[in-house]
Amino acid sequence: MTGAPAAHNADPYIPALGNDGYRSVHYDLELDYRVATNRLTATATITAIADGVDAASSGTDTQPLERIEFDLAGLSVSSVSVDGVRTPKVRQVRNKVVIDPREPIAPGATFEVRIAYAGAPKPRRSRWGLVGWEELQDGVIVASQPSGASSWYPCNDLPSDKASYRIQVTCERDYAVVCNGVLEASSTTGGRTRWVYEQSEPTSSYLTAVHIGRYRRERMTVSPTSSPVTIHAAFPPALGARVKHDFRDLPAMVDVFSQRFGPYPFPEYTVIVTEDELEIPLEAQGLASFGSNHADGHGGSERLIAHELAHQWFGNSVGLRSWRHIWLNEGFACYAEWIWAEASGGPTADASARSHHGRLSASPQDLVLGDPGADDLFDDRVYKRGALLLHALRLMLGDDGFFALVTAWTTRFRHATAETSDFTQLAREAAGRPLDDFFREWLEQPELPRLPAPRG
């Protein structure tokens, strides 16, 4: 297949991904997977709304959508239809599926694309390492942040493009499948089990996940918040005692964070612990995955468990419009670690902040928090400096003012996307005064600002 994809206004941190002219509304993914051979046969049905494309040269704001593109890496497309009509003009090039529908799609019109594809899924190479669909010793893990969703299904792989999902996975009956959303059905026929999950809340593609393993899936204690949250854990049976010990405080964490951040934004939360060791845990929408090394039976990863849970508010419900604003995800999740430590009898958030401030003071002062650059997207200084900004703001506003601001943030942008300017404007409203100098120091200057003195 030949031909070049159309130019698009991508996120500058992931310029090869993202597609113009439409907004995704819903993905219906039907995956048939063979664990032993790593063979995926799948169909993706994508519902979207045409935004139209820039037509400044013609004197109008938009013009009909004549070309539809999706990101897809390493898998081969066999057929495509648009609104039920098979489309012969399809090509794959540079990890794009490029589709020319038989008729242009008018701006504002809803359309449906059905893509059949297959292959041996594998992680996608990125500047941050391998991301996406990955085989474990005996199963599968998907860790798509920030650019790996296209390793297993065609999508508009931008954090700003949120959609609902239905994910159906069929595999050998000896394996359990865990995906985003609520498990709606599972049935076994001929030695293979079909699992169906529904994720109704808008979800960014990088937060979608499939986990396949010889897992036991158990319901943990339901969190007794005003909006009860069902918590599940999926783990190899041999790790059961360690997992139950190390994750036993999850209901209490949900309660503490719901009091500080507003109601938990999803009906359920599931943690998956793999038999393999993993370098780091990772969040997905309504999920978090951990390696066996993160369940040592002694609570050694307690702060990481709190961190991934906090992402359900910050990053998942309140999403990013572009990757340069990642401090809004990681700064809040890191700060949540300090909030939980204090609530559970550990050091105060102020003590944690001052300890980390001292360490960061000795690190290179060459990172701009508000736009760290793609190479430093996951630099630990983004996490800690973001948390320190939030603590400095808390010291300025006081506890009541600060947590009222945080709750307003999670409420106003619930299941939506936002960026730094949205947060700074909301903070100005909460403070009732300009905060330009404060945010300029913390977000635009590489030098680490001082923390305000502790409140009396």
Does residue 99 surpass a pLDDT of 80?
A: yes
Interstrand relation of 96-99 and 268-273 (parallel, antiparallel or unpaired): unpaired
> Within a domain: residue 149?
yes
H-helix or E-strand containing 166? strand 162-172
Q: Are residues 236 and 192 in the same domain?
A: no
Last residue of a domain, one of 312, 336, 351: 312
Q: Are residues 10 and 157 in the same domain?
A: yes
Kindly report the CATH number assigned to the domain that includes residue 51.
2.60.40.1730
> Within a domain: residue 307?
yes
> Within a domain: residue 9?
yes
Tens digits of residue pLDDT in 399-453 = 999 999 999 999 999 999 999 999 999 999 999 999 999 999 999 999 999 999 9
List of residues 6+ apart from 388 with CB closer than 8 A: 353, 356, 357, 360, 442, 448, 451
Q: Are residues 299 and 345 in the same domain?
A: no
Distances (CA, A) of 354 to 43, 335, 336: 51, 12, 15
Q: Are residues 51 and 169 in the same domain?
A: yes
User: What is the residue range of 391's domain?
Assistant: 319-444
> Within a domain: residue 449?
no
Q: Are residues 202 and 228 in the same domain?
A: no
pTM: 0.95
Confidence of residue 121 (pLDDT cuts 50, 70, 90): very high
Q: Are residues 91 and 223 in the same domain?
A: no
> Within a domain: residue 455?
no
Q: Are residues 328 and 393 in the same domain?
A: yes
Q: Are residues 105 and 157 in the same domain?
A: yes
Q: Are residues 222 and 302 in the same domain?
A: yes
Interstrand relation of 22-34 and 96-99 (parallel, antiparallel or unpaired): unpaired
Q: Is the dihedral of CA 39, 43, 49, 54 positive or negative?
A: positive
Q: Are residues 104 and 220 in the same domain?
A: no
With pLDDT > 70 as the criterion, what percentage of the chain qualifies? 94
Last residue of a domain, one of 207, 233, 260: 207
H-helix or E-strand containing 82? strand 76-82
- CB distance 291 to 274 below 8 Å: yes
Last residue of a domain, one of 191, 207, 223: 207
> Within a domain: residue 188?
yes
Counted domains in the chain = 3
Tens digits of residue pLDDT in 219-232 = 986 666 656 889 99
Measured CA to CA, the distance from residue 376 to residue 380 in angstroms comes to: 9
Tens digits of residue pLDDT in 134-148 = 999 999 999 999 999
- Chain centroid to Cα 320, Å, comes to 9
Residue 42, judged by CB atoms within 10 A of its CB (0-12, 13-18, 19+), counts as: buried
Strand partners, 65: 105
pLDDT value, residue 6: 44
- CB distance 368 to 443 below 8 Å: yes
Confidence of residue 62 (pLDDT cuts 50, 70, 90): confident
> Within a domain: residue 262?
yes
Distances (CA, A) of 25 to 79, 164, 205, 222: 21, 6, 12, 31
3-state secondary structure of 249: coil
Q: Are residues 257 and 238 in the same domain?
A: yes
Q: How many helices (H) and strands (E) does the chain have?
A: 8, 25
Tens digits of residue pLDDT in 207-262 = 999 999 999 999 986 666 656 889 999 999 999 999 999 999 999 999 999 999 99
Mean pLDDT over 264-274 rounds to 96
Cα angle at 227 between 294 and 230, to 5 degrees? 40
Kindly report the CATH number assigned to the domain that includes residue 351.
1.10.390.10
Residue 162: name the closest of 265, 56, 309 by CA.
Answer: 265
Q: Are residues 137 and 231 in the same domain?
A: no
Length, in residues, of the chain: 456
> Within a domain: residue 11?
yes
